[in-house]
Amino acid sequence: MEAADAAVWQGAVLGGIVIWVVAASFLDVTFKLRSFLQPWVSHHVDIGVPFILQIQNYRFGFLDALFSGLSCVVSVPFYTGFLPLLFWSGHGKLARQMTLLIAFCDYTGNCIKDVVSAPRPPSPPVHRITATKDEEDNALEYGLPSSHTLNTVCLSGYLLHYVLYHTQIDGFHATYIGVPLVVLLVTLIGFARVYLGMHSVIDIIAGLLFGLGILAFWLSVDEYIDNFVVSGQNVISFWAGLSFLLLFAYPTPEIPTPSFEYHTCFNGVALGIVTGVQLTYHQFHSEFVPRLFTSEMKILVFAGRVLVGIPTILIVKFCSKALAKWTIPVVANTLGIPVKSSSYIPKLNPLVTGNKPKEGYFQKLLSPQDSFDVDTGIRFVQYIGLAWSVVDLVPSLFTYLSL
């Protein structure tokens, strides 16, 4: 009976997404929402320029370095590097919740960005400070909401919640120290994004409000999601179907941006983590595994895990990408699906390219003459392999090496 009930609600969820994709495509929901929201947001971006210029009048090298560094610390690449260490330190529940939460934040925030398709502050006159390649890529995305602000609200807020309710740290001290720290961090991140010329005030406010909404929602469902991931029915098949459909449910931006690529990566990460945890929960991820800074896991043991784990997941990432680059075009050709590649496989690129905006993914599914970008599939498979290795392959190596 339990398996039947699970199949019913899972089928309802996946079916609902399919219905939404079809309805949104035929009703042109994205265009209608953009027509309503974009002029209002763009107006507030324009009238916010003098405020940004006033802040940038106080620019100097130390503040440039400080705010650029702060932005890097709360960026998606930082979390991508930090989360494996959290898994390997024994804090499996916190690690998987943070992973799924950032995937949800990334998908939701980037969907809103590409639906609204509102510009960032114009440069010039605003001076846009991009100290890293990641920041240069971020500058190619649309502005509202600020992903850095949204992610900081959600992840720092959830971390504080976890410390208060799932650790032995005194709640009184954690609250009166943790809450001001979270508020300070969010404030600094919001100010940094304006100072760096990456966002207008309206983007920061939107990131804050959406972040609070997402955090409140996640705190109401996190235990249900975690129980489903570790002990639910049909978990892997359901999550695979969900991940695939989310690729098609993503809105089409006014012009292509890297936002969809970022979502694809974390969509793959979420599927890889869920798959690995579901298969190996009792071996590697239960509440009884050794944790860092306890008698069961000394700092040297954790250092050994890092030295073994980091090279391993990088090798798996490389191999997954190579395997996907070879298999996906072959499978597509076998099924008669026309394909192209934006960057990974140059020989698949069309001989003539124009400036015509990309069509929605559902339209591509319906139109045989259009071609699929295999880079999406390659990126998806690559990050599935990376995430699976973090929670399955690498912990198996730790067991073999007595780590």
pLDDT in tens, the chain (403 residues): 566 777 888 888 888 889 988 888 888 888 888 988 899 999 998 888 888 888 888 888 788 888 888 887 777 667 777 888 888 888 888 899 999 999 999 899 999 999 988 888 887 888 888 777 777 777 788 888 888 899 999 998 998 888 887 776 666 667 778 888 888 989 999 998 898 888 899 999 999 999 999 999 999 998 899 889 888 888 899 999 999 898 888 888 888 888 888 888 889 999 999 999 998 888 888 888 887 777 778 888 888 888 988 899 989 988 988 888 888 888 878 877 777 777 777 776 654 444 444 444 444 444 444 667 788 888 888 899 999 999 999 899 988 888 7
The reported pLDDT for the residue numbered 3 is 66
Together in a domain, 256 and 151: yes
The Cα–Cα gap between 294 and 296 comes to: 5
The reported pLDDT for the residue numbered 363 is 40
Together in a domain, 270 and 340: no
Contacts of 154 (CB under 8 A, 6+ apart): 101, 102, 105, 211, 214, 215, 218
Active site residue 199: yes
Together in a domain, 160 and 271: yes
Of 230, 254, 284, which one is at a domain's C-terminal end? 284
Together in a domain, 308 and 189: no
Of 284, 307, 341, which one is at a domain's C-terminal end? 284
Contacts of 356 (CB under 8 A, 6+ apart): none
Tell me whether residue 292 is in a domain: no
Active site residue 263: no
Query: In this structure, are residues 203 and 51 in contact, taking their beta carbons and an 8 Å threshold?
Result: no
The Cα–Cα gap between 35 and 144 comes to: 15
The reported pLDDT for the residue numbered 352 is 41
Query: In this structure, are residues 115 and 155 in contact, taking their beta carbons and an 8 Å threshold?
Result: no
Together in a domain, 199 and 326: no
Nearest to 201 by CA among 38, 51, 34: 51
The reported pLDDT for the residue numbered 204 is 93
Together in a domain, 152 and 35: yes
Query: In this structure, are residues 152 and 93 in contact, taking their beta carbons and an 8 Å threshold?
Result: no
Tell me whether residue 49 is in a domain: yes
Together in a domain, 196 and 91: yes
Number of neighbours of residue 280 by Cβ within 10 angstroms: 17
Alpha-carbon dihedral sign for residues 387, 389, 392, 395: negative
Tell me whether residue 205 is in a domain: yes
Tell me whether residue 290 is in a domain: no
pTM: 0.86
Tell me whether residue 67 is in a domain: yes
* CA distances for 337 relative to 99, 179, 354, angstroms: 33, 52, 21
Of the residues 91, 173, 199, 282, only one is catalytic, namely: 199
Together in a domain, 225 and 364: no
Number of neighbours of residue 322 by Cβ within 10 angstroms: 12
Q: How many domains does the chain have?
A: 2
The reported pLDDT for the residue numbered 210 is 93
Query: In this structure, are residues 158 and 220 in contact, taking their beta carbons and an 8 Å threshold?
Result: no
Together in a domain, 238 and 345: no
Of the residues 91, 148, 263, 285, only one is catalytic, namely: 148
The reported pLDDT for the residue numbered 2 is 62
Of 284, 307, 328, which one is at a domain's C-terminal end? 284
Query: In this structure, are residues 132 and 64 in contact, taking their beta carbons and an 8 Å threshold?
Result: no
The Cα–Cα gap between 274 and 253 comes to: 29
The reported pLDDT for the residue numbered 357 is 40
Domain limits for position 388: 298-351+358-402
The Cα–Cα gap between 384 and 395 comes to: 16
The Cα–Cα gap between 359 and 122 comes to: 27
Tell me whether residue 289 is in a domain: no
The reported pLDDT for the residue numbered 64 is 80
Q: How would you classify the pairing of strands 372-373 and 339-340?
A: parallel
* CA distances for 305 relative to 98, 320, 402, 403, angstroms: 20, 22, 10, 6
